[in-house]
Amino acid sequence: MTETMRAISQDTLGGPEVLREIELPRPTPGPSEVLVRVHAAGLNPTDWKHRALDGLFLPPPPFVLGWDVSGVVEAVGFGVTLFAPGDEVFGMLPYPYGHGSMAEYVTGPARAFARKPQSVDHVVAGATPLAALTAWQALVDTAKIEAGQRVLIHAAAGGVGHLAVQIAKARGAYVIGTASAAKHEQLRALGADELIDYRTVDFAEAVRDVDIVLDTLGVETCLRSLPTLRPGGLLISIKPTGFEEVRAAADRQGVRVAALLVEADHAGMNAIADLLATGALTPTIAGVFPLADVTQAHALGDTDRTFGKLVVTVA
């Protein structure tokens, strides 16, 4: 290993053009940490939003973004027993402050990772963690989804949405998704039972008696989704802005709401690894870009028109 590494950083907020390749010291794993040589790192909307917008979780730049990672353990810190150098792993760096996977090497808590299934490559593994953990923690940990329940998933073709469709189906649920008509065929192939073209159909009029709503869009969609829930049903939002308004409206309508921020999760990663290994979960790859072309990946992400996940390859 060299003492330095390539990384993608930025000195200011802005468009994809603010991203630049720099050289940084290679990190050293501390206690309970592993050093991972990054092979692939998924991109998520939080990456381009933190790149461009002030007032989010991170302090002002400079910083190296990236939370998804798939790679090979190069070294372990004191106390690590789960992994050894040479192990192939994937995981999500602790969100939001554990960022840094847009680089050749990254350190993170050993228990933020799981063993990469041999049946999937690093691109597939790198695309999965943050979005899949979000869907898993929403549907399984929070909603405690059960077979036969009706689930409404907004933006079903998005990074979180298309994985949530598959996780809900793996748990035996009936899945209703909102997406543009052009994406319906792909979503049916992933297991969606019913699809609504949000451009031509008002889901708030078309859907009723669902047990769970997963919202990835924001307060307006949350408020319009509440009447689709049966009494005592649960809406989970991953967009906390304006959530108190949603909570007040839910109280008036006799339904429940929860706001979720994804967490690093060893047990969740192991469950996701099992789903990948059996083929019950497969991320759709919208594009793969080498580290040097990360600006192109961010520009595509900015369009908000991709189906599935964008991935940056490093090693």
CATH of the domain at 177: 3.40.50.720
First to last CA, the chain: 13
176 and 288 together in one domain: no
120 and 135 together in one domain: no
Report how many domains make up the chain. 2
pLDDT for position 241: 80
234 and 288 together in one domain: no
175 and 195 together in one domain: yes
105 and 140 together in one domain: no
Distances (CA, A) of 58 to 47, 53, 115, 227: 11, 10, 29, 35
Please give the Cα distance from 133 to 227 (Å, whole number): 27
Q: How many degrees, rounded to 5, is the angle at CA 112 between CA 33 and CA 8?
A: 80
Q: How many CB atoms lie within 10 A of CB 206?
A: 12
Residue 271 lies in a domain: no
Residue 189 lies in a domain: yes
**Domain membership of residue 50 as a residue range:** 4-128+283-313
142 and 253 together in one domain: yes
Please give the Cα distance from 267 to 313 (Å, whole number): 26
Query: Any idea how long the chain is?
Result: 315
| Among 259, 275, 304, residue at a domain's last position | 259
pLDDT for position 62: 98
Residue 276 lies in a domain: no
Mean pLDDT of each 10-residue bin along the chain, 315 residues long:
93 98 98 98 98 95 98 98 98 98 98 98 98 98 98 98 98 98 97 97 97 96 97 94 91 97 98 98 98 98 95 95
226 and 245 together in one domain: yes
What is the CATH number for 29?
3.90.180.10
Please give the Cα distance from 125 to 115 (Å, whole number): 10
pLDDT for position 315: 83
Please give the Cα distance from 248 to 232 (Å, whole number): 15
103 and 15 together in one domain: yes
251 and 291 together in one domain: no
Q: Residue 188 corresponds to which amino acid?
A: R
Quick one: DSSP state of residue 155? S
Please give the Cα distance from 171 to 271 (Å, whole number): 12
Quick one: DSSP state of residue 78? T
Contact in structure between 137 and 272 (CB atoms under 8 Å): no
Q: Residue 61 corresponds to which amino acid?
A: P
73 and 116 together in one domain: yes
What DSSP element (H or E) covers 276?
Answer: helix 266-278
